[in-house]
């Protein structure tokens, strides 16, 4: 990604809902619909803040939506 480029994504984060964690681990990942590794909110924030100069992160239940600038 070029400097100033945007990275926009959304995906599942673990640790917000036991029911969702179970569903992802035991059904959705086994079907290939979700791929590990799965990060917690804190792990993801740490990763994104190290890689990008600007991060805008929103969590809604077990989903995280973000926009980062390189």
**Phi, psi (degrees; rounded to nearest 5) at 58:** -130, 135
68 sits in which H/E element: strand 63-69
Cα separation of 34 and 37, whole Å? 9
Checking if the pLDDT of 54 tops 90, the result is yes
The pLDDT assigned to 25 comes to 95
The pLDDT assigned to 1 comes to 85
Mean pLDDT of 31-47: 95
Contact 39, 25 (CB under 8 A): no
Contact 12, 59 (CB under 8 A): no
Checking if the pLDDT of 45 tops 90, the result is yes
Give 35's DSSP letter. -
Mean pLDDT of 36-55: 95
């Amino acid at each position: 990604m070029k400097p100033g480029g945007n990275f926009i994504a959304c995906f599942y984060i673990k640790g917000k809902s036991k029911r969702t964690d179970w569903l992802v681990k035991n059904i959705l990942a086994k079907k290939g619909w979700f791929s590990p590794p799965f990060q917690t909110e804190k792990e993801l924030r740490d990763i994104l803040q190290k890689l990008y100069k600007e991060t805008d992160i929103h969590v809604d239940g077990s989903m995280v939506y973000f926009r980062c600038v390189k």
